[in-house]
Structure 1
Amino acid sequence: MAYNQLRYRKNFGLLIAFVVLVTILFIVAMLSARSMIANFIETEFNNRKVEVFDQSVQPFQEFFNDKIPEISYYQGYLDSVKAAAYVNDVIRKNAFVESVLFYDITVTNSDSIEAGIKYNHLLVYPKNVISFRLDTQNRLVAQRKESTETRAYTEDFNSMVLKFVGFLDRVNDSTRMSDNDIYKVFYTLNAGKVSYMNIPRISDLLAYKQMMSSPDNPVVSYDQDMFLFLINPSKIQIKNVAPNLYEKIEILPIVSGRVTDQRYYFQTELSLPGALSDYKLQYTSSESFLNKEINRRFLPVSVGVSVIYLILIFIAYLIYRNVTINSKLFQLQYDFINNLTHEFKTPVSVIKIAGNNIQSSDKLSTEEQRMYGKILDQEADKLNSLMNKLLSFAQIENKSIKAHKEEVGVEEFCEPIFDAVKLKYPDLNFSYQIEVQNNMMIDTTLLLSVFQNLIDNAYKYSESKRKFLNIDVQQNKKNFVIRFKDQGIGISKKEFNSIFKKFYRVKNQFNQQGSIGLGLAFCKEIVDFMGGEIRVDSVLNQGTTFTLLLPLGPKMN
């Protein structure tokens, strides 16, 4: 129970709930975004048809509103040559105008019998009817029509003249023709046809009215022009200003026999105006075509949502990593405190026992005094060594210690250490080689600590029958190279990056007690402090080699 209370609490339930919630929100956001874009595309499909309609019909509107009224500039004095020039310009610029009939009209009060319209004393009849069209070689062809050939268009002529003479009844000196009057009187729109009569001056209209109402006027004649434009709506050029929405746009008759499978197509339509009213613009797009547009617009949205999702997942990962690292750090610190307590407790207990024995003994022999003195001295040294190691490590890590550099010969530094090794570990198979030319500029106390740690580890982590250590001291152009090679239990490669971290202990039978995980971390801090480098190479159950690289010149901080 006490152990569970001391454990680091890793509440991964909240983290998992967070990831699940973020994932659900991500899926909902993606589905909602795609649905909204699909609805927007469908709405835009129905709305932008007007824009396509306006752009496509604009040439016809310009022809109707701007080009046709130019006829009135001639005031009824167009002959066949001028009419041909006017028609040639119209028919070449507007492909939807298939052919044009030109009526050279006479307005008179004569009693002669002509094929026309007579109202009271006013006679209106066509002197000539000329048809204009482009032949197969794109040449303008003019053909005079006989009365029998124009019978099909007589109704258009009669309708225009009847409106005209009916308007004459309402003309007076104060008459001012509005745009509405002009469209009602001088334009006639039928399916595929636009008729237009040139607009006379008010004075001419008053003269026509006088001729129509009075039989005593002298016989006079006036010229009027009328054009009948035959329109083919299917030749209007469609301007698809939204090619990403409309896969196909067609001009079809209002009553079309085509059947579209509504399951696979989006379709909408708009009726054409005026003389084009028997036709419509039909817009169709397949689902696959619109899906491409939906996916194109959805892509940046999905990327943005995905980036946010990945950021949140990354945050969750950082939290998980932080929790895991804190858990490991907590465990390392917990183990460190336990081991440190054990390290202090053992010599303290031995000192206390020795002290109690001395205190309770009535009389100690010389041999017993020496024995207890040696025990107290050894245990005090252990405590002192441990305290010095902790203090030095903290000072070096916090950069609060200064190096006491001195020049020393390599053999002068190493040989006392090696002699002490032979005395301390008589069962260790120890050997060394020293081949250098330069002296070292080092802090002897710090480097001595490194040597002692690596030598102690070589002895500690070797089985009793394989206690072997070779120290090789060499020199290259830049560094002193010092190798500590043993035949111990070895270290797994996956732990190479961890063994130099504080409180980290390799899990093995030699590390159950008596290690606080600071030895190699202490070595690395010292070597780094002296501007050097420490490396490890090891094979499990074969041995380990630690290599120190110390600069020839002074580089200590």
Structure 2
Amino acid sequence: MSSEKKSGYRKNFPLILTFIILMLVLFMLSLLLAYRFSTKYIENQFVSEKVNVLEQSIRPYNDFFQKKLPEVSYYNGYLDSATASNFVDTVLLEYPFVSKVVFYDSEVKNTPVTDGLNIGRFSFGPKSIYQFGSLVPMDSVKLFSRDNTHNFIAGDDFNALALKLVTYIESLDTSRVPSQDELFSNFSNVRSNKITYLNIPRMDDLKMYKTMMRRALNPQPIYQQDMLSFQLDPYKIKIINSRPLLYQYIKIEPLTYDPLETSSLYVTTEITLPGPFSDYKLYFISSKSFIDKEILSYFLPIALGVLLFYSILVLVAFLIYRNLNINQKMFKLQYDFMNNLTHEFKTPVSVIKIAGNNIKSASNLTDRELKLYGKILDEEADKLNGLMNKLLAFTQIENKAIQLNSEKVNITDFIESTVESHRLKHPDFDFTFDVSGFKSFVTDPVLLGSLFDNLAENAYKYSPIQRKRLHISARLIKGKVVFRFTDQGIGIPSSEINNIFKKFFRIQNQYNQNGSVGLGLAFCKELVNFMSGEITVKSKVDKGTEFKIVLPYND
């Protein structure tokens, strides 16, 4: 590695290291903040999601209270024991939390009743009382009848709702129609684990009830009223755990339930059940390891998003750095190219100028001196012309500004002419060749000649004095023309093999001290590509180099 590259690495290393450390710190900080956010979010979810669990778990109760209970009013007080039994069977089947139902087949009269409630001329009492439930024996279904009055056990449920009915009738404003919510709330009574419901009479019947409280009517009316008392079991409520990955266990416990031991390894929360279940609560408990899994599952997508963001950020930074680095290298290559090109032009120009000045200042020149100066001027002019032609040809080929000419070339004659021209130019150049498999093929002789000349010049230039040898082989292999240029020069380091065909690239060695434009092998690469071929290279340092060129064969 050159000292220049090492210097560049040393200069950029602290900046790159600082950037990497800064990105790592920001990445770790982002992950920490994301994990804390995930933890806080899941903790808040643990507290707030219990409302959703409660709503879904008591949905059957809400359906029972808002839809099933009002069905009692559809019978207008004319439920009998058989119809009530069928109704209760449906309720017990659909709503398992209803454990037992007591049915009061009642009447409203304008005459006093022995068993029931008497307010003024208004009387309300049961004709018979039945109980239904899965655990009720068949001989215990009927609890009361007028034939057996000494067993009246209407109790608090009947009395409480009867008093509520009387209170409502006394305050009833008969000039307006009460709302359904108002009627529903006054004809039902919600107590702990129990709901008692009385069928809602028509508005005309309510007005008559109010009249019956003030005076006796003739004839004396009798109205049928049905009352049902539903006993509820909160432990039969089916708990719907809508967040099974958040709540490990959910139980129904009394409101006063408080575990004696609360471990820091568990997280708990609770919410009170509504209505008749208000003495109970949903109790939520999860182990911290269980919660940590939910935190992790929420955190991982965020972490992946953070990783993707910083990966893109680092990639963009890398691309910017690479672009700047490439631009810097291109600037250096172009700078070297201009310097070398200037030197390549300056040398023959200087020689021409010196020769011209000598001719100009000399009073008399011998024939020998004229020939010498003429030869110098001719050779330096050829150098300038060759350099200009190479630059022009490279630009034209690179921009596809020329056309490929097709001529039939005798390969032996072509190589011999190349060998002769280079032997004249370099008498110490040991040049050999061999041809097998074909005698001629169709190609562009000018471009092929430029390719041979460049590779031959490189072989001569980059070989020690005692090993200035080049062997060219030309073979027809599998329908392709294969040329191999094998020298015994200084070779190419393996670290530079991938760069030698790049424009303006020069290997730093003693053979390039006098200047090189860095276009020779790049020109060869463009030539081969333009001719629809391939060029590869194998090399060993201090052993030699072999360039392999494969061209299409057209006879």
Q: CA deviation at 1:278?
A: 0.9
1:382 pairs with 2:383: yes
8 Å CA contact 2:112, 2:118 repeated in 1: no
CA distance in 2, matches of 1:300, 1:424: 72
The yes-or-no answer on 1:143 pairing with 2:144 is: no
CA distance in 1 between counterparts of 2:397 and 2:348 reads 26
Partner SS for 2:158: helix
Match of residue 414 from structure 1: 415
1:67 is aligned to 2:68: yes
Checking the alignment, whether the CA contact within 8 Å between 1:132 and 1:140 is kept in structure 2 is no
1:504/1:518 contact within 8 Å kept: yes
Task: Name 1:439's counterpart in structure 2.
Answer: 440
1:236 is the counterpart of 2:237: yes
**Structure 1 residue 18: deviation in Å?**
7.4
Query: 1:453–1:519: 8 Å Cα contact kept in structure 2?
Result: yes
Work out whether residues 249 and 285 of structure 2, in 8 Å CA contact, stay in contact via their aligned partners in 1.
Answer: yes
Aligned twin of 1:102: 103
CA contact (8 A) 2:484 2:549 kept: yes
Aligned partners of 1:23 and 1:309 also within 8 Å: no
Shift in Å, 1:340: 2.5
Is residue 2:527 matched to residue 1:529? Answer: no
* Residue segments in structure 2 that go unaligned for 5+ positions in a row: none
Deviation at 1:48, TM superposition (A): 4.7
Structure 1 CA distance for aligned equivalents of residues 56 and 453 of structure 2 = 92
Q: Distance in 2 between matches of 1:179 and 1:150?
A: 32
Mapping of 1:477-556 within 5 angstroms? 477-553=478-554
Distance 1:474 1:461 in 2: 25
Most deviating of 441-450 and 325-334: 441-450
> Mapping of 1:72-471 within 5 angstroms?
72-105=73-106, 116-117=116-117, 126=126, 128-135=128-135, 143-145=141-143, 154-167=155-168, 169=170, 178-179=179-180, 182-183=183-184, 185-200=186-201, 224-243=225-244, 246-258=247-259, 261=262, 267-284=268-285, 288-289=289-290, 292-359=293-360, 361=362, 363-471=364-472
CA contact (8 A) 1:15 1:316 kept: no
In the alignment, the residues of structure 1 paired with residue 39 and residue 413 of structure 2 have an alpha-carbon distance, to the nearest angstrom, of 85
Taking the aligned partners of 2:263 and 2:318, their CA distance within structure 1 comes to 49
Q: Call closer, same or farther: CA 1:130–1:519 in 2, change over 3 Å.
A: same
Q: Secondary structure at the match of 2:86?
A: helix
In 1, Cα distance between the equivalents of 2:280 and 2:528? 92
| Deviations 1:92-125 (CA, angstroms, capped at 9, x unpaired) | 111111112223446667788x565555677655
Moved more, 175-184 or 334-343: 175-184
- Aligned-residue sequence identity (percent) comes to 46
Q: Which amino acid aligns with 1:91?
A: L
Following the alignment from structure 2 to structure 1, what is the Cα–Cα distance between the partners of residues 189 and 166? 14
Question: Residue 372 of structure 1: CA displacement?
Answer: 3.8
Q: Cα deviations across residues 461-498 of structure 1 (Å, max 9, x unaligned)? A: 22223232211122235332221111212112332221
SS of 1:134's equivalent in the other structure is coil
Give the letter for the 1:144 counterpart.
K
Q: Which moved more, 1:471-480 or 1:291-300?
A: 291-300
Q: Does the residue aligned with 2:466 lie in a helix, a strand or coil?
A: helix
How far, CA to CA, are the matches of 1:415 and 1:395 in structure 2? 28
Moved more, 454-463 or 302-311: 302-311
Please identify, of 513-522 and 275-284, the stretch whose mean Cα deviation from structure 2 is larger.
Answer: 275-284
Equivalent pairs, count = 545
Q: Are 1:460 and 1:510, in contact at CA under 8 Å, matched by a contact in 2?
A: yes
Partner SS, residue 141 of structure 2: strand
Alpha-carbon shift at residue 194 of structure 1 (Å): 1.4
Name the CA shift for 1:129/1:440 in 2 (closer, same or farther; >3 Å). same
- Tell me the distance in 1 between the aligned counterparts of 2:441 and 2:139: 113
What is the identity, as a one-letter code, of the residue corresponding to 1:511?
Answer: N
TM-score (normalised: structure 1): 0.81
| Partner Cα distance (1:339, 1:403) in 2 | 30
2:438, 2:475 within 8 Å by CA — same for their partners in 1? no
| CA distance in structure 2 between the partners assigned to 1:528 and 1:514 by the alignment | 27
Unaligned runs of 5+ in 1: none
Contact 2:53–2:242 (CA under 8 A) maintained in structure 1: yes
Asked if structure 1 preserves the Cα contact closer than 8 Å seen for 2:504 and 2:517, the reply is yes
Q: Indicate how the Cα distance of structure 1 residues 539 and 66 shifts in structure 2: closer, same or farther if over 3 A, else same.
A: same
Indicate how the Cα distance of structure 1 residues 286 and 143 shifts in structure 2: closer, same or farther if over 3 A, else same.
same
1:397 corresponds to which letter in structure 2? E
Instruction: Tell me whether 77-86 or 15-24 shows the greater mean CA deviation.
Output: 15-24
**1:140 offset after TM fit, Å?**
8.2
RMSD (Å), alpha carbons:
4.1
Contact 2:110–2:217 under 8 Å retained in 1: no
Output the amino acid matched with 2:258: G
From the superposition, tell whether residues 209 and 339 of structure 1 become closer, same or farther in structure 2 (CA, over 3 Å): closer
Q: Against the structure 1 CA distance between its residues 438 and 79, is the aligned structure 2 distance closer, same or farther, given a 3 Å change threshold?
A: same
> CA distance change for structure 1 residues 524 and 165 in 2, over 3 Å: closer, same or farther?
closer
Tell me how far apart the structure 2 counterparts of residues 359 and 173 of structure 1 sit (CA, whole Å): 140
Change over 3 Å in CA distance of 1:195–1:432 after alignment to 2: same
Contact 1:19 1:316 in 2 (8 A): no
Secondary structure of the corresponding residue to residue 491 of structure 1: coil
The aligned amino acid for 2:81 is S
